[in-house]
């Protein structure tokens, strides 16, 4: 792979963060914390890695992303819209009656979603099965599965962890599978460490037979390099521990369990968008005059405030 255009990916991730905040504010519910922690990973995957065709979401040779931590689907919707699976204007229908943008991923409702997830712990098993099916078909397509740290408390994850490096051996090893842990250290009820600590997480996965890479999950260059290494690793699937910050990019959301599953109110959303774009409070009025797309999103949120 060519070196990533870091600035472009960072700009895309910022735009997606804005959309995450926007759609959650319009929905009035949802999960900003984990959506913001996983977005740099999803951005790097969709815009510097995956082979896909939004016009043919069922193209057999496509790479697959299974977002096992399904509650963070606003992040996936934001990259899918940007990639052309559906118009960005549809993002504000998130969680609304009749929308294909269900509160958690629904494969049958939205082309491009690979599996229904949201009941935690199931995505890795599905991904192992997909990787195996692709290997049996001699396909070069790859499977990327993203799990959460709280999710890793589910027993099924460890059933699949045991199977990943062994299934299909020796003829069809699942080296087409890459598992990424969005390690944001927080779950619904509080800090993972306090509720049911995962540590030592690297040692656990190594003992289960997975090559493990550890990266900063907000650094697109590190993400991309790790994906390169995963692709170059033969004979076994790879596990990437992506250290992330829950709520990344919004000061009042970062590292606060309260923002696991509460949507920002319109005024909070506007402040969050300003922070994501790196604009000071004082400069905000002038900035909005120069950025018409953001101005439209802000105006929409101001109208929402009044209703």
Torsion of CA 44, 49, 53, 59, to 10 degrees: -130
Cβ closest to another protein, residue 53 vs residue 305: 53
Is the preceding peptide bond at 222 cis, omega within 30 degrees of 0? Answer: no
87 binds another protein (CB under 8 A): no
Identified binder of another protein from the candidate list 1, 5, 84, 137, rule CB under 8 A: 137
Stretch that binds another protein, among 48-56, 167-175, 202-210, 241-249 (CB under 8 A): 167-175
24 binds another protein (CB under 8 A): no
156 binds another protein (CB under 8 A): yes
For residues 34 and 115, what is the distance between their CA atoms, to the nearest angstrom?
19
Stretch that binds another protein, among 18-26, 128-136, 280-288, 290-298 (CB under 8 A): 128-136
Identified binder of another protein from the candidate list 1, 162, 203, 283, rule CB under 8 A: 162
Stretch that binds another protein, among 9-17, 108-116, 186-194, 254-262 (CB under 8 A): 108-116
User: H or E segment at 67?
Assistant: strand 64-67
Identified binder of another protein from the candidate list 155, 234, 282, 285, rule CB under 8 A: 155
170 binds another protein (CB under 8 A): no
57 binds another protein (CB under 8 A): no
Contact (CB, 8 A) for 191 and 257:
yes
72 binds another protein (CB under 8 A): no
Identified binder of another protein from the candidate list 11, 29, 119, 303, rule CB under 8 A: 119
Task: Match 């062994």 to its residue by tokens.
Answer: 166
Stretch that binds another protein, among 14-22, 158-166, 214-222, 246-254 (CB under 8 A): 158-166
Q: Alpha helices, DSSP H only, in 58-110?
A: 73-83
110 binds another protein (CB under 8 A): no
- Residues that contact another protein, how many (by CB under 8 A): 36
Q: Give how far Cα 45 sits from Cα of 21, 250, 256, 277, Å.
A: 21, 22, 26, 22
160 binds another protein (CB under 8 A): yes
First to last CA, the chain: 48
Task: Please report, for the chain, how many H helices and E strands are present, in that order.
Answer: 11, 7
Stretch that binds another protein, among 79-87, 134-142, 199-207, 273-281 (CB under 8 A): 134-142
Find, among 11, 175, 18, 191, the residue nearest to 92 by Cα. 18
Q: How many CB atoms lie within 10 A of CB 299?
A: 11
Contact (CB, 8 A) for 182 and 148:
yes
Subset of residues 256 to 275 that bind another protein, contact rule: CB under 8 A: none
What tokens were used for 250?
């919004």
Q: Which residues bind another protein (CB under 8 A)?
A: 60, 106-108, 114-119, 121-122, 124-134, 136-137, 139, 155-156, 159-160, 162-163, 167-168, 171-172
């Amino acid at each position: 792979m060519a070196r990533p255009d870091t600035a472009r990916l960072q700009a895309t991730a910022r735009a997606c963060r804005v959309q995450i905040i926007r759609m959650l504010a319009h929905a009035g519910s949802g999960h900003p914390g984990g959506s913001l922690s996983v977005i740099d990973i999803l951005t790097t995957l969709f815009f510097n890695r995956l082979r896909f065709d939004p016009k043919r979401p069922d193209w057999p040779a496509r790479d697959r992303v299974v977002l096992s931590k399904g509650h963070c689907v606003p992040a996936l919707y934001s990259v899918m819209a940007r990639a052309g699976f559906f118009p960005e204007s549809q993002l504000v229908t998130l969680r609304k009656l009749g929308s294909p943008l269900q509160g958690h991923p629904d494969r049958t409702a939205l082309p491009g979603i690979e599996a229904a997830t949201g009941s935690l712990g199931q995505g890795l098993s599905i991904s192992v099965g997909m990787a195996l099916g692709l290997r049996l078909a001699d396909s070069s397509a790859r499977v990327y599965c993203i799990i959460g740290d709280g999710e890793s408390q589910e027993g099924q994850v460890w059933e699949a962890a045991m199977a990943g490096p062994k299934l299909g051996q020796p003829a069809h090893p699942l080296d087409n599978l890459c598992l990424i842990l969005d390690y944001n250290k927080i779950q619904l009820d509080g800090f993972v460490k306090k509720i049911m600590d995962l540590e030592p997480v690297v040692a656990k996965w190594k003992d289960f037979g997975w090559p493990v890479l550890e990266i900063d999950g907000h650094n697109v260059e590190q993400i991309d390099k790790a994906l390169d290494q995963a692709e170059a690793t033969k004979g076994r699937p790879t596990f990437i521990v992506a250290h992330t910050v829950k709520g990344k990019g919004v000061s009042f959301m970062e590292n606060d369990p309260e923002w696991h599953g509460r949507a920002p109110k319109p005024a909070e959303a506007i402040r969050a968008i300003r922070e994501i774009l790196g604009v000071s409070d004082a400069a905000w009025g002038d900035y909005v005059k120069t950025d018409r797309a953001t101005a439209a999103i802000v105006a929409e949120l101001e109208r929402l405030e009044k209703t």
